[in-house]
Amino acid sequence: MNIIPVINCPDRACVEKTIAIARNFLGSDDWVHIDVTDGVFSKHATFSDPAAWNDMEIPFNFEVHLMVSHPEDYIAPWLAAEVNRIIVHVESITPESSRDILKACSEKGVKVMLALNPNTPIRELEPYINSFSEFLVLSVSPGPGGQEFNSSVVDKIKILKHEGVIIEVDGGMNAETALLVKNAGADIIASGSYIFGNVDPKKAYEELKNI
């Protein structure tokens, strides 16, 4: 499996500590997933200063998961920070804003992934299914790490798989749930607490990769 460790941090000190841990088991071709919440789309708020991320010179590819209202306002700063992939939510875009986001990212060679909350019906993706080739199925509510996996998303993964798209699953990922979503058709798993909350983060990461 393609495993992407999740960084969900309230401040810069936490980010730097987590990156230092990730250096022990990630290479320059690997990825990290940055949770960005604004306290509006989700009551939980994370450290989300693109300029600071750029200053830290993260030695990995990284995707930013914009769990925010009006994600179009966040695109330019993250593109300036040389993000590799941007994830926006179907619940916070419109067909018009999605076109602007896709255009801005395409001009910089940055991929865009469309995310879906666990309680959002999959039919909400229909207006966008031909515009996006990568989708993130969020299996917990937007917010803090360590939440319990919502098994109802398995059916969504199976439905999306029939569209021939890339599927990432984020939230509540451990050895058991990762196998479940892999069998349903997931291509990528994003995991935070299971990796960084483990006494041996490298071992936890390798365990997920070997599923």
Residues identified as active-site = 35, 170
| 109 Rama sector, left if φ>0, alpha if ψ -120 to 50, beta otherwise | left
State CA 94 to chain mean position distance. Answer: 20
In the block, residue with structure tokens 């998303």: 153
CA dist., res. 115 & res. 160, Å (int): 12
- Cβ density class 20-29: b for 16+ within 10 Å, e for less: ebbeebbeee
Whether 52 contacts 58, CB under 8 Å: no
Q: Which two tokens stand for residue 37?
A: 């919440």
Whether 137 contacts 169, CB under 8 Å: yes
